Amino acid sequence: MRIDILQGDITTRSVDAIVNAANSALLGGGGVDGAIHRAAGPDLLEACRELRRTQLPAGLPVGAAVATPGFRLPAQWVIHTVGPNRHAGQTDPALLASCFRESLVVAGGLGARSVAFPAISAGIYGWDARQVAKVAFDAVESFASLPAAGGAAAGALEFVEFVLFSEDTTAVFRSVFGD
């Protein structure tokens, strides 16, 4: 599986799926979440409301992932995941790893060959970008090494990119990836 790191706007990426660092309400917000909702258009909000009405009445749990269409985005799908909030006491790296792992499982289930991730929880949720990068790379490597029989979803995924908004976070991800 190929992995790339780049600075840019995740909403412009021509990949099969982009990952949204969502809040549990799935109704939009700030940062990456707000940017994705604005770029995808109002149909994304309606799809998220439908998920809340039908499958997720209590919201999306931390570490879980769910997909919607991408609507006006170049990506066919948006995979929503809720990262742990350090400021709220959610400091277990396993919760953060679950965001990446579950997003990859959802992407594989959709038949996605390419997926773009932001730095989940490294913004307003207070996680150190270096720790996020290490957890993210470990999750991707673990997913890529799943045996074909037990991890058929991993077989379709060929390309993962980390699309990071700031120059500083991009530099941190590149330094960790190079370690």
| Backbone region of residue 71 per phi and psi (left: phi > 0; alpha: psi in -120 to 50; beta: other values) | left
For 96, other C-beta atoms within 10 Å of its C-beta total 28
For the CA atoms of 140, 141, 143, 145, what is the dihedral angle to 10 degrees? 160
Cα 126-12-38 angle, rounded to 5 deg: 70
Give the containing element (helix H, strand E) for 53.
Answer: helix 42-54
Integer Cα distance of 90 and 72 in angstroms:
33
Q: Are 70 and 13 in contact (CB under 8 A)?
A: no
- Give the residue numbers annotated as catalytic, written as ranges: 33
